[in-house]
Structures are given as C-alpha cells and as structure tokens.
Amino acid sequence: MDVRWNSTYLILKTLFPHKDPFTTFIHANYPRGEEGELILTEEYCVVAEKVFKFLALFYDATVALSSVYCPTSPLMIHYLIKIAIHLKYYANDIHLRNVVQPMVDKYNKYWRDIPFLYSFAFILDPKEKMMGFSKVLRKLMNLTNIEYNVYHVGTRARLTDVYNKHEEKYGVVRLRRTVP
C-alpha cells in the first residue's frame, strides 16, 4: 500500500539523491504559498531527512526478519535491542518525539514478555548462549526500564524442561551404538 511507513521510507530514499533538482523544481513551479512563504523550506528537508533516518532501521529490520531462506528467530532479540536503542535516541528529538513516545509505549506493551521461541533461538545460537542472553536482558532493562530478572529465570527453567523432555524421549537412542 502506498500509505504505509515503508512506502514513505522508499519514497524518501529515492528522493534524497535528487534533493537539489527537486527543490529547484518546486521553487520554480510553486514559488509561494497563500501567505507568501516558500512551499518547500529547508526545515521541511531537515524533518524529511530525520524521518528517513528514523525509518531506516525499521525497514532494515523488516527486510532481515522477513527472510525466507535463512533462520530469523535468533536475530529477533538483536533487533529488539537495536530498536530500543533507536527509540531512546529519538525520544527527545524536537521533530519526532510526538511520534516516538506512542511507539515506545507500544514497544513496551508488546515486548514486555518476549516469546520463549525467540529466547530459545537466541540461547541456542552458538555465538550467544546463556551468558549472552543475560547480557542482552540487562541491556534491555537499562533501555526500557522493564524488569527481566523473573523472565530470565523462567526462560532458563523452560529451556531445562524442554531439554529434559527431549532427553527422556531420545536419550536412550543416543546410548545405543551399532556394532561395527
């Protein structure tokens, strides 16, 4: 749809390399508004550039997490951190704070309880493991002021339960060896 945020991002991405000719075209064909002011001022360009930079991370996250040919579950928590940092950075921006604050509220509402699937995928990633998960949760606590200590303990317990069920069901198979 042409009215969604990702379309706005793509339009701005296409426009910015041609900003000077576009500005010249607007000034030549539409020099003044009803009150005698320029239709396209430098402040509009500054705000458009801020919106473009703000939307870039969301576009990149959408593209990365929508991938079909590679696993994306381990990436989810990485992008949660990046988005939390991004929202905190833009929270006090004079042009974007009215948009960012509702986004922060939605972010906190939906990601207060991270689904276990993403946590398990993150922990099972050989680069991260349980220590990396602890660090990430501490970083999320600092960024969002949401308490994740109970979630950390719960995730560890659920992962242990899943492991024990797997061991109970398939542990015997692993112990059997074929005779050469």
Q: pLDDT tens-digit profile of 14-59? A: 988 988 888 888 878 876 766 667 777 788 889 999 999 999 999 9
Q: How far is CA 167 from CA 91, 116, 124, 174, in A?
A: 47, 19, 16, 9
Q: Which of 23-27, 104-108, 114-118 has the lowest mean pLDDT?
A: 23-27
pLDDT at position 105 over 90: yes
CA–CA distance, 150 with 144 (Å, rounded to integer): 15
* Cβ neighbours of residue 79 closer than 8 Å, sequence gap 6 or more: 61, 64, 65
Q: How far is CA 50 from CA 14, 94, 115, 126, in A?
A: 15, 11, 32, 37
Contacts 24+ apart (CB under 8 A), 108-113: 108/144, 108/146, 111/80, 111/144, 112/146, 113/151
Q: What is the pTM of this model?
A: 0.83
Residue-level pLDDT at 19: 86
Q: Are 95 and 47 in contact (CB under 8 A)?
A: yes
Q: Are 20 and 34 in contact (CB under 8 A)?
A: no
How many C-beta atoms surround the C-beta of residue 169 within 10 A?
9
User: What is the rounded radius of gyration, in angstroms, for the C-alpha atoms of the chain?
Assistant: 24
Q: Which of 58-62, 127-131, 170-174 has the lowest mean pLDDT?
A: 170-174
